[in-house]
Structure 1
Amino acid sequence: MKNSLPPSDQQTLAGLRSREDSSFAVLYTFYYPAVERFVLRNSGSRAEAQDIFQETILVLLEKVPTADFQLTSSLKTYLLSISRNLWLKRLRQAGRVVRAELEELEGHSPATEPAAFGEEAAAQQQTQVRGLLARISAKCQALIQALFFNQKTIQAVAQDHHYTSVHNAQNQKYKCLEQARRGVRNNSA
């Protein structure tokens, strides 16, 4: 029977440090499909997705053996952040249009992004996000700011914003993300 869950992040990182083939297989089995989906949705091909994922693994392999490397998010989030930044950088260099969906932000924390991609890319992303946030309601801006930028838990947001339950706060989060997605679709139409 095929295992449907990846081993723990710490097991995978330990395997990568010792260059175990099984850890590389874990990366390709569990994390490559999400990278491929992102690249394909953003003007790329399967071959380009494979290139980006291999570059991502190289970045990871440079960082893993260092003494100060500490994973502050899930391995999947970390890998997706590296891949996303590499792909967006490649698109900008090629002069191709970048059309990333807001849903890509979900589960993404600016604190988990590698700093190796420069301040220019970060500034451009911040400008895009600010433009997107300007098109949604103030209530949604506050909610998204708290969740994604201030990294508050949904429980803390529910309490701070006076929602009657965590479920209501999650529903509002969904509605706000939908509002932002509509803004992206309307702006690109």
Structure 2
Amino acid sequence: MNDKQILELFQNGQREKAFSKLYGLYPKIEALILSKGGTKQDANDVFQEALIILNRNLEKSGFKLTSSIYTYLYSVSRFIWKDIQKKFSNQETHNFETDEIECFHSVLEEKKYQQAERAFLELGERCQLLLQLFYIKAMSFKAIAIQMKFKSEKIAKNQKYKCLAKVKDIFKTINTVQF
């Protein structure tokens, strides 16, 4: 199956079928990671993360794949592995080609998604629920107050603000620790 057909599977919502085809590229990515001192488990983890990045980018309306899927996954995997190893030199980052810069930014963006998810998961269940009701279910503060048994919608609004401040603090802490 060629790249165009795989991309059509993504566009038609047949992601599982597209991913099963992409797994044919895994041995090449595994060879890359093994040649850089990684293990088979490292290769598996890196490949999974590269697929997540590809998937997220394909969901963006402005994203245009300018290389083959293999080249894209190879570049993203290389950046993920180097990021894990913390082996980017300043000279290397200055010499990136345009496509490599896009891949590098995708890896950094994915890292931020993971940090945000981790910060959210470190919140208490009540804050998680409140933020999900507001941001995901788009519920009004009045409805949130009723469901969460707050005395008023003003209290619900204040609690949302406190939960948001807390998750931002956790995110900053995670970001500081990892970089």
- The TM-score, its normalising length taken from structure 2, stands at 0.50
Structure-1-length-normalised TM-score = 0.47
Q: Which has the larger radius of gyration?
A: 2
| Structure with higher helix content | 2
